[in-house]
């Protein structure tokens, strides 16, 4: 409890104040964001037992929502399909979401939770708990990245796709309400590990690696050649992921112009579409010559 509000209430206030889920960010409230951020930092490590507990909570609907959902399903066609109904049936915030926001706001101040979060990845109670623990770890700075990097270094690890997805969430610095992530010395190694997996035989691993490279848009001297090479992959979905990621990287993807030019003739229309639009942004003269 801090200033009359519980940890859960401060986290909910922070989440609502980002305006991320409202039209045109109409709920964006920087004053409330600062206040809730300060409150959570004042609570500090006393929050860790609650955050760890919330990660292990499985999502569940309250009884009245379950009954309401069954009643709505019986309504005439179309009436049950509305944003209001979706809002009504959704719990305000699941425990795992609260934990993720709490760890993000505490950052390196929550480093003491690294051993327990690492343990939760491997206990095998549920994939959801493991995913939540991985996403929490990447919020804790360099110390939290160590166990995540160990998973990334082994593409055969069953949690590799989840680890790549967790890394991708660190691209949140694009949004004004999220703090910049402290990579320490891990950025170069992380991008090399992801780049090596763009050509992985497991399509889930290859696609996850390509998407993470594009979303993070770090170390272009390592990532762009890997994505450019991925445009020649025999799998449509991998080529598409690479084309989209190069578009996300934008101007720093100029070394991939030759590969993107070849992709204008790809057998997959979606790959052609993304290649065309990327060239339009970063090398319009080349596109004009080809077309």
Least confident of 33-37, 54-58, 99-103, 226-230: 54-58
Q: How far apart are CA 246 and CA 240, in angstroms?
A: 10
Higher pLDDT, 285 or 13: 13
pLDDT of residue 260: 96
**Region 10-22 average pLDDT:** 80
Proportion of the chain above pLDDT 90, given as a percent: 55
Q: Which of 101-105, 123-127, 242-246 has the highest mean pLDDT?
A: 242-246
* Amino acid 62: pLDDT: 54
Q: 65: pLDDT confidence band, cut at 50, 70 and 90?
A: low
Statement: residue 86 has pLDDT above 60:
no
Residue 173 has pLDDT above 70, yes or no: no
Lowest-confidence region among 134-148, 196-210, 224-238 = 134-148
Q: Which CATH class is domain 185-291?
A: mainly alpha
Break the chain into its structural domains and give their ranges: 1-59+94-158, 185-291
- Higher pLDDT among residues 181 and 280, named by residue: 280
């Amino acid at each position: 409890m801090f200033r009359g509000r519980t940890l859960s209430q401060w986290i909910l206030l922070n989440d609502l104040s980002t305006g991320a889920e409202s039209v045109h960010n109409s709920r964006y409230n920087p004053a409330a964001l600062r206040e809730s951020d300060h409150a959570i930092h004042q609570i500090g490590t006393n929050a860790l037992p609650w955050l760890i507990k919330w990660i292990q909570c499985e999502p569940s609907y309250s009884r009245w929502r379950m009954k309401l959902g069954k009643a709505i399903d019986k309504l005439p066609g179309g009436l049950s399909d509305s944003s209001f109904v979706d809002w009504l049936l959704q719990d305000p915030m699941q425990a795992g979401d609260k934990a993720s926001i709490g760890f993000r706001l505490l950052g390196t101040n929550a480093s003491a939770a690294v051993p327990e979060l690492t343990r939760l990845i491997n206990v095998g109670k549920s994939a959801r708990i493991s995913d939540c623990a991985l996403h929490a770890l990447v919020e804790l700075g360099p110390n939290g990245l160590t166990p995540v990097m160990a998973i990334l270094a082994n593409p055969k690890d069953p949690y590799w796709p989840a680890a790549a997805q967790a890394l991708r969430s660190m691209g949140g610095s694009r949004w004004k309400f999220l703090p910049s992530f402290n990579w320490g010395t891990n950025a170069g190694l992380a991008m090399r590990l992801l780049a090596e997996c763009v050509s992985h035989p497991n399509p889930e691993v290859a696609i996850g690696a390509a998407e993470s490279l594009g979303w993070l848009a770090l170390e272009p001297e390592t990532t762009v050649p890997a994505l450019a090479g991925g445009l020649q992959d025999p799998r449509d979905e991998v080529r598409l992921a690479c084309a989209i990621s190069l578009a996300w990287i934008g101007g720093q993807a100029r070394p991939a112009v030759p590969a993107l030019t070849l992709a204008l003739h790809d057998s997959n229309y979606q790959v052609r579409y993304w290649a065309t639009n990327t060239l339009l942004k970063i090398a319009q003269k080349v596109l004009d010559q080809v077309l």
